[in-house]
C-alpha cells in the first residue's frame, strides 16, 4: 500500500429492502463521474430491478471473480482487481454480505476496510437489521434472525451516513407493483416481513439509531471547539439526588417531565446524579446507591455518580457535559437562618445555571427536619449539658476573677479572655452552648467592664461597637470551632471505618468458604452475642455464638438473611455491614458454584464410567463370551468327531472364558460397592505371610517374608483380594521377567511389596493407573477392563491402609500395600523400599 491517507466511507442506510439504497448509491456514483471523478462499480446486486440496472449504464464495472462451492458456482467482489485498478471512488453494494468460502475475508465489510486502507473512497449500502447491535431487536420485530451483520463501530466510522427513507405504505405499494420482488414472491412478502407494523418499527429504529449518531457527532464538534454552552437540540434532564428518602420522588418527577417533553415516544433522556464528597465523609452506603440505580433504571433513566467537594459545581459541570437543558433539585431542608448565613446548593445552582432551566421540587422532607439527615452533635448529651452549664456560669466566674484583679488588666485583655471562654465552651459542648456563652459573655463584659459599669448603658460609641463585635465574633468563632470539631469527628470516624474495613477484609479473605469462620469473625469484630445465616424459608445455614437477645436482620441477596444478635447500635455502620454482606453473598455464590461444579464432576465421572463400561461390555465381555460360545457350538456339532485331547482343549477354553467373565463381574460389582460406600471391612488380626502364601501358591513368584512379621489389622478376605489383584497386575506388566513379593514392618505399619521389572510407569501417570478403567496403553485389549488396581486401592483404604507405587531400582514398578500392625510398639528394622531380592 502507498502512503495515501485512508479513504472516506459513505453509507446509505435503509430500514428495509426496496427503499432505494442501491439506486441512491448508483446515483451518487453517476454524479461524481459527471464531475470528473474516477468511479468504478465493484459489485452491485440489481435483483432484477430494471430502474436499478439502468443506473449502471455509463459506469465502469469491475468483473467479479468466480468461486466454486461444491456443485455451485458463486460470484464475489474481486478485491485484488479493484486494488489493482485503484480508482478514486468505488461502489460496493450490501456491506453486511458474507463472502463465499475460500475468500480472503469472511465478510464484505472487511473487503471494504482493505479498500479504505488503500486510500480508496467507498460508497456502500446496508439495512438497519444488519447492524450488529440491533440484531436481537429486529429479530423480535420481524421474527427473522439476520445471520449477516456488520459491526456498528465500522458503520459509525463513516464520514457520512445518509438515511434512505420511505413510508411503510409507499414501500408496500412499490412491492405490490412488482418494483422490489418478482410477482410470485409479492404476496408472501406483504404478509410476512413487509407487514406495515414491521416496516414502521424498522423505520423508527433506523431513525433513532441515526439520531444517536448525530448526537455523537454533535458532542465531538462541541468538544473539538471547546463549546461549554448548552445547545438545546433536544431535551435532556439531570436530577440531583442526595441518597435521602426524597430521592425516589425526585426521580419519579424527572421521569414524568421527560415523558411530557417528547410525547408519543419513550420521552427525553434523563439521568440521576449522586455527588460523593471528595474527602470521603458523610457518604451514602453502596447498598442505597444500588437501590437508587435500580429505581432509575425501572423509571427509564440512568444513574451516575460524581466526586466533588462543591456539590453545586459538580452538578452543573455534569449537566453541561451532558448538554442538559433542565436540572431538578429538591427543596432545601436547611433553616432560614442557615440560608441567610450561607447560600445552599439550590441557591448556587440557580445563580450559576446560565442557559439551563432549574426546577426546585418540594417534598415531604423539606417540610420537616429529618433526624437522619440533620447533623446531630456527636459529643453526647453529657458534654452538651456541661457546655450549657459552662456557657451560662463561666462568664460570671471569669468576671469575679477579673474584678478581683482589676488593676492588672484593661478592657482589651478582658474581652480576649471572654473570647477564650467562648472557644472553650464550643470545644466542650458544641455550637449552641457556645452561642449562649457568647451572648452571656457580651452582657457580662458590658455590665461589669465597659464604662459606665454596673449598668447596661455604654458611654462610648466605640465601646458599644466593641461589645457588639465581640458577640458577633464570638458566635462566628463558635460556628467555625463547632464545624471544625464536626469535620474532625467525621474524619476520625472515617479513619476508624477504614481501619475496621481493613481488619474485616483481612478476616473475611482468610475465611475463604468457611461460613463458621465468617460468622465467628463477625461476632468478634462487632462485639455481638451471636450471628447466624439463614434462608428466607427459615433454614439455618450456619450459626455462631448465642442466638438470643435483640437481633438485626440484614438481607444477603434475594434468598438469605444475616441475623446479628446483640446491640443493634454497634452494627449500624452501613459501610461495614455492606462489606460483610458483600462477602457473605460471594461466599454463598461460591458455595453454590462449588456444589454445581461437584455435581457436574460427579455426572461427568459417571458418564465416563458408563462409557468405559460400555466399551468393556462391547469388547472385554464379548471376547470371552464368543470363545465360550464357539467352543460349546463345536462340541455340540454332530458332524465332528473330537478326540479326547481336542475335547479337553475346548473344555479348557470354556473354563478359561468363564473364569475371565467371573473375574470381570466380580471387579465390576466390587467397584460399584466401593463407589456407593457399601464395603465394610471386618477388622481382625491377620497373618500376612499366610495370605501371601495363598495368593502366590502355584506360581514362580519369589517370596521374601520376615519370619517374625507381626500380624496386621485387616480383613483377611479383602486383603487376599487386594494382593491377588496387585500380583496379577505385576504379572501382566512384568514382560516375562521375575516378580517378587516381600513383607516387612515399618514403625506400626505392616508393608507388603510387589516388585516387577517390567517397563514401569512414569511418575506423572502413577495416580492415573489407580482410576477405574485405566490400562495405560501397554496391555492388549481383552486383557481386563482396568479395574484391578482401582478395586485394590478401594479395598485397602476400606481396611485403613494405603496402596501406592514407586520405581523399582534398575527398572520396573513396585506396589506397596501398607496396613496398620496389630500390637506393634516398635520394629527394629526400618523398611528399605529399594531392597533387592536375595541373589
pLDDT tens across 565-587, in order? 776 444 445 566 666 777 777 77
Average pLDDT, the chain: 77
- Whether the CA torsion 638, 640, 643, 648 is positive or negative: it is negative
Q: Of the segments 235-249, 342-356, 466-480, which one has the largest average pLDDT value?
A: 235-249
Q: How far is CA 299 from the centre of its chain?
A: 25
Residue 226 has pLDDT above 50, yes or no: yes
609 Cβ partners below 8 Å, 6+ apart?
772, 773
Tell me if 316 sits within 8 A of 352, measured CB to CB.
Answer: yes
Among 259-273, 369-383, 620-634, 722-736, whose mean pLDDT is lowest?
369-383
Residue 838 has pLDDT above 60, yes or no: no
Rg over CA atoms, the chain: 45
φ, ψ (nearest 5 deg) of residue 584: -60, -40
CB atoms within 10 A of CB 231: 12
Pairing of strands 684-686, 540-545: unpaired
Residue 783 has pLDDT above 80, yes or no: no
Cα separation of 558 and 539, whole Å?
14
- Model confidence at 117, pLDDT cuts 50, 70, 90, reads very high
Q: What pLDDT, on the 0 to 100 scale, is given for residue 468?
A: 73
Tell me if 254 sits within 8 A of 295, measured CB to CB.
Answer: no
Q: What pLDDT, on the 0 to 100 scale, is given for residue 11?
A: 93
Q: What pLDDT, on the 0 to 100 scale, is given for residue 827?
A: 44
Among 289-298, 327-336, 706-715, 772-781, whose mean pLDDT is lowest?
772-781
Residue 185 has pLDDT above 80, yes or no: no
Region 328-349: mean pLDDT is 69
Tell me if 749 sits within 8 A of 818, measured CB to CB.
Answer: yes
Reference 430, options 379, 372, 369, 362; nearest CA is 379
C-alpha cell recorded at residue 686: 491377620
Region 701-714: mean pLDDT is 87
C-alpha cell recorded at residue 404: 478581683
φ, ψ (nearest 5 deg) of residue 712: -110, 155
Q: What pLDDT, on the 0 to 100 scale, is given for residue 724?
A: 85
Q: What pLDDT, on the 0 to 100 scale, is given for residue 83?
A: 93
Residue 383 has pLDDT above 90, yes or no: no
Q: What pLDDT, on the 0 to 100 scale, is given for residue 32?
A: 92
Tens digit of each residue's pLDDT (9 = 90 or more) over 153-178: 898 888 888 888 888 888 888 878 77
Q: What pLDDT, on the 0 to 100 scale, is given for residue 464?
A: 67
Q: Of the segments 184-198, 512-526, 810-824, which one has the largest average pLDDT value?
A: 810-824
Region 48-66: mean pLDDT is 87
Where do we find the cell 436540572?
Answer: 327
411 Cβ partners below 8 Å, 6+ apart?
449, 450, 463, 466
- Model confidence at 612, pLDDT cuts 50, 70, 90, reads low
- Model confidence at 634, pLDDT cuts 50, 70, 90, reads confident
Q: What pLDDT, on the 0 to 100 scale, is given for residue 37?
A: 92
φ, ψ (nearest 5 deg) of residue 768: -65, -30
User: Percent of the chain having pLDDT more than 70?
Assistant: 76
C-alpha cell recorded at residue 613: 463400561
Residue 742 has pLDDT above 80, yes or no: yes
Tens digit of each residue's pLDDT (9 = 90 or more) over 82-97: 999 999 999 999 999 9
Tens digit of each residue's pLDDT (9 = 90 or more) over 387-430: 889 888 988 998 888 888 888 888 788 888 888 888 888 778 77
The dihedral region occupied by 786, where left means phi > 0, alpha psi between -120 and 50, and beta the remainder, is left
User: Percent of the chain having pLDDT more than 90?
Assistant: 10
Tell me if 60 sits within 8 A of 39, measured CB to CB.
Answer: yes
**Run of H or E residues at 296:** helix 286-298
Amino acid at each position: 500500500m502507498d502512503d495515501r491517507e485512508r479513504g472516506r466511507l459513505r453509507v446509505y442506510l435503509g430500514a428495509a429492502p426496496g427503499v432505494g439504497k442501491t439506486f441512491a448509491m448508483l446515483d451518487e456514483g453517476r454524479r461524481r463521474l459527471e464531475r470528473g471523478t474516477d468511479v468504478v462499480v465493484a459489485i452491485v446486486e440489481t435483483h432484477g430491478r430494471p430502474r436499478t440496472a439502468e443506473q449502471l449504464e455509463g459506469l465502469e464495472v469491475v468483473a467479479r471473480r468466480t468461486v466454486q462451492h461444491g456443485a455451485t458456482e458463486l460470484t464475489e467482489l474481486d478485491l485484488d482487481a479493484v486494488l489493482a485498478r485503484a480508482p478514486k471512488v468505488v461502489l460496493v453494494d450490501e456491506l453486511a454480505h458474507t463472502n463465499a468460502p475460500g475468500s480472503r475475508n469472511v465478510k464484505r465489510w472487511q473487503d471494504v476496510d482493505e479498500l479504505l486502507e488503500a486510500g480508496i473512497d467507498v460508497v456502500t449500502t446496508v439495512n438497519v437489521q444488519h447492524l450488529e447491535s440491533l440484531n436481537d431487536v429486529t429479530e423480535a420485530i420481524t421474527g427473522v434472525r439476520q445471520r449477516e451483520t456488520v459491526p456498528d463501530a465500522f458503520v459509525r466510522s463513516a464520514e457520512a451516513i445518509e438515511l434512505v427513507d420511505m413510508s411503510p405504505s409507499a414501500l408496500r405499494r412499490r412491492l405490490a407493483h412488482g418494483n422490489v420482488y418478482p410477482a410470485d414472491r409479492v404476496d408472501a412478502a406483504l404478509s410476512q416481513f413487509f407487514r406495515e407494523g414491521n416496516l414502521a418499527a424498522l423505520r423508527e429504529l433506523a431513525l433513532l439509531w441515526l439520531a444517536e449518531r448525530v448526537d455523537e457527532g454533535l458532542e465531538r464538534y462541541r468538544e473539538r471547539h471547546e463549546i461549554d454552552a448548552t445547545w438545546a437540540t433536544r431535551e435532556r434532564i439531570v436530577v440531583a439526588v442526595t441518597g435521602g428518602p426524597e430521592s425516589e420522588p425526585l426521580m419519579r418527577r424527572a421521569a414524568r417531565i421527560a415523558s411530557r417533553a417528547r410525547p408519543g415516544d419513550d420521552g427525553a433522556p434523563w439521568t440521576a446524579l449522586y455527588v460523593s464528597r471528595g474527602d470521603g465523609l458523610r457518604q451514602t452506603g453502596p447498598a442505597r446507591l444500588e437501590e437508587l440505580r435500580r429505581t432509575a433504571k425501572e423509571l427509564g433513566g440512568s444513574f451516575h455518580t460524581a466526586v466533588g467537594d462543591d456539590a453545586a459545581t459538580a452538578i452543573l459541570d455534569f449537566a453541561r457535559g451532558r448538554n442538559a437543558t433542565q436540572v431538578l433539585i429538591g427543596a432545601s431542608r436547611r433553616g432560614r437562618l442557615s440560608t441567610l448565613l450561607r447560600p445552599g446548593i439550590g441557591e448556587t445552582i440557580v445563580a450559576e445555571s446560565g442557559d439551563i432551566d432549574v426546577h426546585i421540587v418540594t417534598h415531604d422532607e423539606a417540610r420537616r427536619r429529618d433526624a437522619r439527615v440533620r447533623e446531630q452533635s456527636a459529643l453526647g448529651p453529657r458534654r452538651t449539658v456541661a457546655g450549657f452549664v459552662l456557657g451560662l456560669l463561666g462568664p460570671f466566674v471569669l468576671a469575679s476573677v477579673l474584678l478581683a484583679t482589676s488593676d492588672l488588666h484593661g478592657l482589651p485583655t478582658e474581652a480576649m479572655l471572654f473570647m477564650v471562654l467562648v472557644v472553650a465552651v464550643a470545644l466542650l459542648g458544641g455550637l449552641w452552648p457556645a452561642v449562649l456563652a457568647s451572648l452571656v459573655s457580651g452582657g457580662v463584659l458590658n455590665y461589669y467592664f465597659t464604662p459606665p459599669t454596673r449598668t447596661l448603658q455604654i458611654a462610648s460609641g466605640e465601646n458599644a461597637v466593641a461589645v457588639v463585635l465581640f458577640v458577633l465574633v464570638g458566635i462566628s468563632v463558635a460556628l467555625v470551632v463547632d464545624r471544625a470539631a464536626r469535620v474532625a469527628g467525621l474524619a476520625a470516624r472515617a479513619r476508624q471505618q477504614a481501619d475496621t474495613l481493613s481488619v474485616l477484609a483481612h478476616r473475611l479473605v482468610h475465611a475463604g468458604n468457611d461460613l463458621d469462620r465468617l460468622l465467628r469473625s463477625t461476632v468478634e469484630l462487632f462485639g455481638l452475642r451471636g450471628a447466624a445465616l439463614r434462608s428466607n424459608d427459615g433454614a439455618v445455614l450456619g450459626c455462631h455464638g448465642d442466638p438470643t437477645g435483640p437481633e438485626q436482620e440484614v438481607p444477603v441477596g434475594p434468598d438469605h438473611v444475616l441475623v446479628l444478635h446483640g446491640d443493634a447500635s454497634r452494627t449500624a455502620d452501613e459501610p461495614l455491614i455492606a462489606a460483610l454482606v458483600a462477602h457473605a453473598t460471594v461466599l454463598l455464590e461460591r458455595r453454590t458454584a462449588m456444589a454445581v461444579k461437584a455435581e457436574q464432576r460427579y455426572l461427568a465421572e459417571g458418564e465416563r464410567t458408563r462409557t468405559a463400561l460400555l466399551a468393556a461390555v462391547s469388547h472385554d465381555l464379548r471376547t470371552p463370551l464368543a470363545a465360550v460360545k464357539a467352543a460349546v457350538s463345536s462340541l455340540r456339532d454332530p458332524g465332528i468327531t473330537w478326540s479326547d485331547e481336542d475335547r479337553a482343549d475346548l473344555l479348557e477354553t470354556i473354563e478359561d472364558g468363564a473364569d475371565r467373565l467371573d473375574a470381570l463381574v466380580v471387579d465390576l460389582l466390587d467397584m460399584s460397592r466401593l463407589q456407593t460406600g457399601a464395603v465394610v471391612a471386618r477388622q481382625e488380626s491377620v497373618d500376612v505371610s499366610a495370605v501371601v502364601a495363598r495368593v502366590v501358591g502355584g506360581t514362580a513368584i519369589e517370596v521374601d517374608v520376615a519370619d517374625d512379621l507381626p500380624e496386621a489389622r485387616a480383613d483377611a478376605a479383602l486383603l487376599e483380594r487386594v494382593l491377588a489383584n496387585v500380583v496379577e497386575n505385576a504379572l501382566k506388566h512384568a514382560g516375562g521377567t521375575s516378580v517378587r513379593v516381600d513383607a516387612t514392618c515399618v514403625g506400626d505399619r505392616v508393608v507388603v511389596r510387589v516388585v516387577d521389572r517390567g517397563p514401569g510407569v512414569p511418575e506423572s501417570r502413577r495416580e492415573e493407573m489407580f482410576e477405574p478403567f485405566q490400562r495405560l496403553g501397554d496391555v492388549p485389549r481383552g486383557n481386563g477392563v482396568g479395574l484391578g488396581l482401582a478395586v485394590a486401592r478401594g479395598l485397602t483404604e476400606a481396611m485403613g491402609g494405603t496402596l501406592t507405587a514407586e520405581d523399582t531400582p534398575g527398572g520396573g514398578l513396585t506396589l506397596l500395600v501398607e496396613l496398620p500392625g496389630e500390637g506393634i510398639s516398635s520394629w527394629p528394622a526400618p523398611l528399605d523400599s529399594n531392597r533387592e531380592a536375595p541373589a
